[in-house]
Amino acid sequence: MNLGGKVAVVTGASRGIGRSVAVTLAELDAHVVVNYAGSADAAEETAALVRGFGVQALVIQADVSDQEQVNNMMQKVLQEFGRIDILVNNAGITRDNLLPRMREQDWDAVMNTNLKGAYHCAKAVLRPMLKARRGRIINISSVVALAGNSGQSNYAAAKAGLIGFTKSLAKEFGSRNITVNAVAPGYIATDMTADLSDESKAQLLSTVPLGRLGVPEDVAAAVAFLAGERAGYITGHVIVVDGGMAM
């Protein structure tokens, strides 16, 4: 599972699942690019945790929904490290509402960050990966992509799109030793779920055979496996990390 010398770009790495992924990859000796959109302080906190494992952390602000910002970010990474081995498309937002009440700008915002952002980032890293004839792209989807969820039609559509995107890229670039996989978390204890009422949490737990909400480290472990050499013959797949909820 050692990733010594590899360079990983993790989008949306300032908190939650993204932070845990960044720290876990650093623990395996990967240098980590900590991407964030809004909170510089939170991103620096992630970077400090990464550096605690004796590897390098490069903090870069970039809105993944903007191709120019993404291209500039990847250029900075190449200037600093000369390579990009792993891309984790984790950046995501929610703008929940029932469809009749959902504003078009909320639909577009979720699509542009959660789905189009992955397109921007994957497109930007493919050139150095193709040149190196190896790479790992891991897209963070959601069980909502598989089962749907009331009030989240935009989020579910974007995350389902990531699965189709994953499978298509896996077929396009498998011959170049670039694997593309997705991880679909269930209900994970992050800032996004912290505001749920006790009643809502109890209802969610009743649907999870393991009887607990997941933690970001559960997702990070799956990402770390897919990023490593032991997953070199796995591509185009979705690993569901949900405690059995979507069986």
Catalytic residues: 155
Contacts of 32 (CB under 8 A, 6+ apart): 7, 8, 9, 10, 13, 22, 25, 26, 47, 50, 55, 56, 57, 58
Decide: 190 and 148 in contact? Cβ < 8 Å.
Answer: no
Q: In DSSP terms, which residues pair with 99 in a beta bridge? A: none
Cα gap 162→176, rounded to integer Å: 21
Cα gap 74→72, rounded to integer Å: 6
Element (H, E) at 61: strand 57-61
Burial letters for 30-69: b for 16+ Cβ neighbours within 10 Å, e otherwise? bbbbbbbbeeeebbeebbebbeebebebbbbebbbbbbeb
79: how many CB neighbours lie within 10 A of its CB? 9
What Rg do the C-alpha atoms of the chain give, in angstroms? 17
Q: Which two tokens stand for residue 210?
A: 């393991």
What CA–CA distances, in Å, run from 92 to 45, 127, 145? Answer: 19, 24, 14
Q: Which two tokens stand for residue 239?
A: 């690993």
